[in-house]
Amino acid sequence: MMDAETLVFVVDDDAPMRESLQNLLRSVGLRVEVFASAQEFLRSTRPDVPSCLVLDVRLPGLSGLELQQRLAAGDMAMPIIFITGHGDIPMTVQAMKAGAVEFLSKPFRDQALLDAIQQALARDRAAHEQRAQRDALRRRYRSLTPRERDVLALVVTGLLNKQIAGELGTSEASVKVHRQHVMVKMGAGSLAALVRMADRLGIPTPQV
Amino acid sequence: MRNLVQPHGCTWAAPLDRDAPHEAAGGVFGFALCPFAVIAYRDAEVTRSALTASAYQALFAAASQTALRLDTFIAATANVIGTQAHMPPLGEFLSLPAADQEPAETRIVDILQAFAQKNPAFTASVAVLDVHGRIVLDTQRANVGLDESATDAFRSALETGLPHASQLEFSASDGKPSLHFSSVVHAPDGRLAGVLREQYSAAVVQQMVAENNRLVSPQSFALVLNEDGLLLADGHLSPGQLSDGLFKATRPLDRARVSALRTRRLLPQEFAQDIVLHFPGLVGGLEKAGQPAPYFTLQLSNNRGPQYAAAVTHMKTQPWMVLFLQPQEVFLAPVRTQTRHTVVLALGVVGAVAATAMGVAQLLTGPIIRLMAVARQVAEGNFGGKVLVRSRDEIGALANAFNLMTERLTATLEGLRQSEENYRGTYENAFEGIWRVSPDGRVLSANPAMARILGYASPDELVASVSDIGRQLYVHPQESHGLLSTYAEGSAIVGRELEFYRKDGQRIWVLTSGRPVHDEAGHLRFVEGFVTNITRRKRAEEELRRSEAYLTEAQRLSHTGGFGWHVASGEIYWSEETFRIFAYDRAQTPTVAFVLQRTHPEDRAFVQHIIDRAAQERKDFDCEHRLLMPDGSVKYLQVVAHAMERAASGDLEFVGAVMDVTERKRAEEALQNAQAELAHVTPLTTLGELAASIAHEITQPLGAVVNNASACVRWLAAQNLEEARQSALRVVADGHRAGAIIGRIRALAQKAPPHKDWLDLNATIRDVLALARSEVHRHGVVVETHLAAAVPRIRGDRIQLQQVLLNLVMNAIEALSGVRAGARTLRVSSDRVTATEVVVAVCDSGPGFEPQHVARMFEAFYTTKPHGLGLGLAISRRIIEAHGGRLWAAANVPQGAVVQFTVPTGSEGVA
């Protein structure tokens, strides 16, 4: 029911609980990796595929909420589903504020967990895709020469070739050539597409 | 009295400060200078008028020479152009019809160029004009075709037929200031054919004027003005230059005149009325010039500038004036030199005269000055000086009389000083403060001790600062009024204690005595007072009174009475509180029999024994016994006594305290009962606190059951029977786990009567850690266990020992919540220390114990926790002691606390 290119991480210090979760998730065809502590999870190498984390709030050593903060601070954020034996309201609020997908009290309905996992994976898949696109765009931008980047920055502000040449102190003909290279290297079919790319790269463009 | 030593008498010595001989010399000096000044002034005047006359003549000669040079130039130039105009080619050319002129133009231009070459530096252009005034040819090609018919040059030449020299005017063609020379040209047939016109730059005039500048002196120069007072040339300016200074008016011009001058091109077009050079003296000087002589003085700038001498003359060819100027200071310089010489000479002569006068005066006044100097010393209180005058005249006699007088004075003064010193020594060094106070409360004088007592740096400061002792010094000012009225009646006061303020505001007690001093009329002049500081004595008295009061109060509050017992006499002293404790009337005299009478009949023999032994052994004693009060109630007493020997007689005496400890006894009994009760209550309370945590324990296996069961259902649906079976097995295991947890809780909660059993301490420890697991995790604590394998079984109550362990573990966890996460370690160990003892230790890495808490931590109701009951450790120790063991606390290494207990091993041996 789900593609193989996803992964669910489970962190719970209670071995029977951990194993039961693994069992449950495997039974619906999800790939699962389990860890007994937050440190163990942080030490592991995780493949770069859409994934989510099922996390017990109370853990020996680093707690679940601390792990959530640690991941967010380290730019390793992924959707998190918290599970707990006795969650209280402040703890729930803190976790949800920090971006948790769901907060489940043990024992929970299996469908509730599975729904939350599906939602989390969908969210991460989208984020993953967006990240990949942005990386590709950045890669293309890095392939530009410094002069081509200058030209790009001026083209997207709507200047004519002549004005750009004046701005950069060069000839109109050479601006034309640079501009052509920029369009090809960035894979932009039109000026509008180039402006959108620049916007996503954080290069200032005129705001309509 | 001090005034006698340093009389104030310096005022009459003041006139001596003026020095008569110097004054006289100054007068002579000043007076002698007057004739010299008159002579010098006269001399200078004569020289000045001679020099001025000679300078004027020189200036007039120079002005005339300059005017002649300009006249010569203009006349000569006009003559030349007249000759040039007669050259036939010019007439022929101009008489040709216009159409035929062109071939001849080149030749004519060459001729005109040749004319211009005669004076190339200043010739601006040379041109031929036709009879209508139009320029036909010009060395300046641009001018060809211009119409000059309106110019003076053209019209005058035509009208007179003679060579003409124009005014210095602004050229019609190029607008520059120029001189125009013109002359008519005749055709070969004699009729008028046109005009030859030459234009010279005005600089030619400037050049000639500048060249003549130095005719009189290096600073002299010439100015040229026209009849309207316009400045045409200025020798100040560099030769040949036409600068802004030219063509400005040296006198005001009205608007009509300006406009007329402008029409005639004699003024620049941009000429403004305000461009008027202000040469003070010029206008008046010019008006006066020639009546009788053409000389005057003027300034070239506003009044502060130097004065110039000037001479003026008029030119013949032009209506111009030539002025020749020279700064007066140049030709008057010899006057200054002469004056300087005169002054130096005068000063020399007068100085010599004054010095001679002073010498003579010194000779005459010397002895008098010496006499005055010694008199001044005497006035300042120094009687040692002698006047050394040997002359036999009146001055000599005066000096001898003076010396005699100073010797007498010295002798008298010495006697006075001796007597004064005697009294002063007493006054200054007394420990008592001595002062005089006026009837209105001012301090008139005081000795150093007085100042010291009142906290002032010196008697002077005290006298200066205190103007009303009643207000400033007395703590109770009305006392001051009382004392004063006593003094006013003529009575002395002896030994009155008063409270004073010191300078720093501190209050002191003083003992004061005083006597009034009246004048002849019987009025109170002042009070002479003697003051001693008795603050320390007063304080000691106060202190004693206070400590007595405290003691009585303390005895009352602490139910402690004091007593003294003189054994030999049987005399007994009781404090108030002791009377109260024994419930005897204070009026009675206490005795030993008295004490025994109140003592509880059961304790009477014991008390008698103690008393006898104390008297015999002469040693301290303390005992506890009861009193049976008249109302039938029982009091518990604690008696402590200290044996002392009287220093004089060696008699034995006991001093001691009687403490009513009835209430404490009652409280102890109540506490013992309460603790016995609480020993059962506390485990349940602890359990209540733990209930929430234990709920978590059960949810874990329950959650696992649910998950595994859900998985099982799905595996079954997927026909994966092996996985389904595994899931079902897990459900079974989780169910058992939940059951075990519930069993443990039930065992803890049972209020079973204590019954001892053979039990495994390590298993008990593990059970307790399992119970506390949730708390351990909640606080992020890392648990280590070091359980010795060879721990023998012990005989004890499992539930009670679990309770003790749980208590210690929970305490440790709580202590750890005070330290940083990650450093929270709890270690539980068991070990066999001796053949008959097992020790269990609970260590934590928390902040440890505060020293002041260690001593009391095992007391019931002693707690450092905000919500604690303070029973845990007390009950734990009671339980362990009931098992024949010990429980104690110590500091852990490197940090934290360790609480451990021992229990004896049973005889059963290792299990």
Phi/psi at B556 (5° precision): -65, -45
The mean per-residue pLDDT over the stretch B463-476 comes to 88
The DSSP line for B508-550 is EEEEEEEEEEE-TTS-EEEEEEEEEE-HHHHHHHHHHHHHHHH
- The beta-carbon neighbor of A19 closest among B730, B774, B822 is B730
Question: What mean pLDDT is predicted for residues B652-673?
Answer: 81
Quote the CA–CA distance of B563 and B555 in Å, as a whole number.
11
A20–B707 CB contact, under 8 Å: yes
Q: What is the DSSP letter of B143?
A: G
In sign, the C-alpha dihedral spanning B767, B771, B775, B780 is positive
Give the CA count within 13 Å in the CB-facing half-sphere of B710.
23
Band (pLDDT 50/70/90 cuts) for residue A118 is very high
Regarding beta strands B295-299 and B231-234, do their DSSP bridges make them parallel or antiparallel, or are they unpaired? unpaired
Q: What is the DSSP letter of B791?
A: P
For residue B8, the model assigns a pLDDT of 44
Q: How confident is the model at residue B28 (pLDDT cuts 50, 70, 90)?
A: low
Q: Is the CB of A23 less than 8 angstroms away from the CB of B695?
A: no
How high is the pLDDT of residue A10?
A: 95
Mean pLDDT score across all residues of chain A: 86
Nearest neighbour of B699 by CB, restricted to A61, A86, A110: A86
Kindly state the tokens that stand for B188: 């070969």
**Interchain pair A58, B695: CB under 8 A:** no
> Which residue is closest to B821 within chain A, CA to CA?
A61
* Structure-block tokens of residue A149: 């980047």
Mean pLDDT on A141-148 = 90
What pTM was computed for the model? 0.36
**pLDDT for residue B752 is more than 90:** no
Q: Which of B704, B782, B822 sits opposite A17 (nearest CB)?
A: B704
3-state helix, strand, coil in chain A (%, to 5): 55, 10, 35
Interchain contact, A86 vs B730, CB within 8 Å:
no
Q: Is A19 part of the contact surface with chain B (CB cutoff 8 Å)?
A: yes
> Cβ of A15 under 8 Å from any chain B Cβ?
no
pLDDT (mean) for B436-444: 88
- The band of B20, judged by pLDDT with boundaries at 50, 70 and 90, is low
Q: Best of B696, B699, B705, B707 to disrupt the A interface by mutation (most A CBs within 10 Å)?
A: B707
pLDDT, tens digit (0-9, with 9 covering 90-100), for B126-175: 999 888 888 888 888 888 888 888 888 888 888 888 888 888 888 877 77
Provide the pLDDT for residue B739: 85
Q: How confident is the model at residue B684 (pLDDT cuts 50, 70, 90)?
A: low
Q: What value does the mean pLDDT take over residues B682-694?
A: 57
In the predicted structure, residue B497 carries a pLDDT above the cut 50:
yes
pLDDT at A9: 95
**% pLDDT > 70, chain B:** 87
Which of A184-198, B296-310, B550-564 has the weakest average pLDDT? B296-310
Instruction: Name which of B699, B711, B782 is nearest A24 (Cβ-Cβ).
Output: B711
- Give the mean pLDDT of B722-730: 91
Confidence at residue A2, expressed as pLDDT on a 0 to 100 scale: 47
Q: Does A59 touch chain B (CB under 8 A)?
A: yes
Query: Is the Cβ of A23 closer than 8 Å to some Cβ of chain B?
Result: yes
pLDDT at B683 over 60: no
Q: CA of A64, closest CA in chain B: separation in Å?
A: 11
Chain mean pLDDT for chain B: 81
> Exposed, middle or buried, B815 (CB in 10 Å: 0-12/13-18/19+)?
buried
Instruction: Name, in order, each residue with C-beta under 8 angstroms of A166's C-beta and a sequence gap of 6 or more.
Output: none
Q: What are phi and psi of B419, to 5 degrees?
A: -65, -40
Nearest-CA residue of chain A relative to B732?
A: A16
What are the residues whose beta carbons fall under 8 Å from the beta carbon of A69, sequence distance 6 or more? A98
pLDDT value at position B5? 41
pLDDT, one tens digit per residue, over B557-570 is 778 888 888 888 88
Q: Cβ(B113)–Cβ(B141) under 8 Å?
A: no
User: Contact B777/A28, CB-based, under 8 Å?
Assistant: no
Residue B29 confidence (pLDDT) = 65
| Each residue's pLDDT tens digit, B218-263 | 888 888 888 888 888 888 776 555 655 677 788 777 888 888 888 8
The C-alpha atoms of residue B617 and residue B567 are separated, in whole angstroms, by 12
Nearest to A58 among B706, B730, B778 (CB): B778
Q: How many CB pairs under 8 A join A and B?
A: 86
Report yes or no: B267 and B247 within 8 Å, Cβ to Cβ: yes
User: With an 8 Å Cβ cutoff, are A23 and B708 in contact?
Assistant: yes
**Helix H or strand E segment including B152:** helix B152-160
- Sort out which chain B residues have CB atoms less than 8 A from A70's CB and list them: none
Task: Give contacts of A 80-109 with B, CB under 8 A.
Answer: 83, 85-86, 106-108
**Which helix (H) or strand (E) segment is B211 a member of?**
helix B203-211
Q: Note whether B702 contacts A26, CB cutoff 8 Å.
A: no
Phi, psi angles (nearest 5°) of residue B903: -135, 145
Q: What's the complex ipTM?
A: 0.74
Burial class (CB in 10 A: 0-12, 13-18, 19+), B138: buried
Contacts of A30 in chain B (CB under 8 A): none
Neighbours of A87 (CB within 10 A): 17
Residue B178 DSSP SS3: strand
* Contact partners, residue B51, CB within 8 Å, separation at least 6: B331, B332, B334, B335
Q: What is the mean pLDDT of residues A138-143?
A: 90
Query: Which has the minimum average pLDDT: B204-213, B378-387, B772-781?
Result: B378-387
pLDDT at residue A32 tops 80: yes
Distance from CA of B710 to the nearest CA of A (A): 6
Asked if the Cβ–Cβ distance from A23 to B707 is below 8 Å, we say: yes
Residue B687 CA to residue B682 CA, distance in Å, equals: 8
- pLDDT per position as a tens digit, B411-423: 888 888 888 888 8
Cβ neighbours for B181, distance < 8 A, ≥ 6 positions apart:
B77, B78, B81, B153, B163, B164, B165, B166, B197, B198, B200
Which whole-number Å values give the CA distances from B705 to A83, A138, B82, B715, in the listed order? 15, 49, 145, 15
Cβ-defined contact of B692 to A86 (cutoff 8 Å): yes
